[in-house]
């Protein structure tokens, strides 16, 4: 696979990662055009790797150009069909379209490729919650290591951070509105409480 063939090349570490980090910084400060230019440089310099394509796709997803975003995510997968961030992001597009079953399939594909990829677990939990599969949603959040009570409201398009010092702009979560009661969440909390009580009492 192309990504594996390039993985040992020092120039990817020396050239691409700084460009991706710079792109994330520009994105963080709202300079979206500049971020896209930097991500496209990665595509041009490393056309056989998925990272740059995926990042450009995230730019289009946040611009709400979902058709173009899908093209870039699919192109990333044409370079590496096992690339979990792009599998997850395609799942996100399906989730936004309300195609929950298909979204779950893509999240599971991402998890199969990278069991430790947190966004796939947390975004699958969102899809499962919307399907009413609350216990399974909680299990996914536990596997992701994220906050069970705070991460079932929304999801975001993801790509792996390149520099831990820089907040990853693609990890912003679209949360559920807070101006009215979320009865689905209330029901979920009740179910979780009963589940915990049963476990404690061994009923």
Q: Under a CB-based contact definition with an 8 Å cutoff, are residues 110 and 120 in contact?
A: yes
Q: What is the pTM of this model?
A: 0.71
Q: Which pLDDT tens digit goes with each residue over 118-136?
A: 999 999 999 999 999 988 9
State the Cα–Cα distance between residues 43 and 28, nearest whole angstrom: 20
* Residue 68 contacts residue 52 (beta carbons within 8 Å): no
Q: Go through the domains of the chain in sequence order and give each one's CATH number.
A: 2-201 (1.25.40.10)
The token pair that represents 180 in the structure block: 């009215």
pLDDT in tens, 140-194: 888 777 544 444 444 456 544 443 333 343 333 333 344 455 566 666 667 666 6
What DSSP state is assigned to residue 80? -
Distance, CA of 125 to CA of 127 (rounded, Å): 5
Strand segments (E) across the chain: none
Is residue 103 within 8 Å of 129, Cβ to Cβ? no
Structure-token pair, residue 174? 């679209």
pLDDT digits (tens, 9 = 90+) for 7-21: 455 588 899 999 999
Helix axes 118-130, 100-113, angle to 10 degrees: 160
């Amino acid at each position: 696979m192309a990504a594996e063939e390039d993985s040992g090349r020092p120039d990817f570490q020396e050239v691409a990662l700084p460009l991706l980090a710079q792109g994330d910084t520009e994105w963080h400060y709202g300079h979206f055009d500049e971020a896209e230019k930097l991500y496209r440089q990665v595509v041009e310099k490393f056309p056989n790797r998925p990272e740059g394509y995926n990042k450009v796709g995230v730019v289009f997803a946040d611009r709400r150009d979902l058709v173009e975003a899908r093209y870039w995510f699919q192109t990333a997968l044409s370079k590496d069909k096992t690339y979990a961030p792009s599998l997850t992001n395609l799942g996100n597009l399906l989730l936004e379209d309300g195609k929950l079953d298909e979204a779950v399939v893509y999240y599971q594909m991402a998890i199969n490729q990278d069991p430790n990829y947190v966004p796939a677990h947390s975004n699958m939990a969102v899809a499962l919650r919307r399907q009413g599969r609350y216990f399974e949603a909680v299990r996914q959040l536990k596997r992701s290591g994220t906050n069970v009570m705070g991460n079932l409201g929304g999801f975001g398009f993801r790509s792996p951070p390149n520099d831990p010092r820089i907040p990853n702009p693609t990890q912003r979560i679209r949360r559920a509105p807070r101006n009215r009661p979320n009865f689905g969440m209330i029901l979920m909390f009740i179910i979780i409480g009963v589940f915990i009580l049963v476990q404690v009492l061994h009923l």
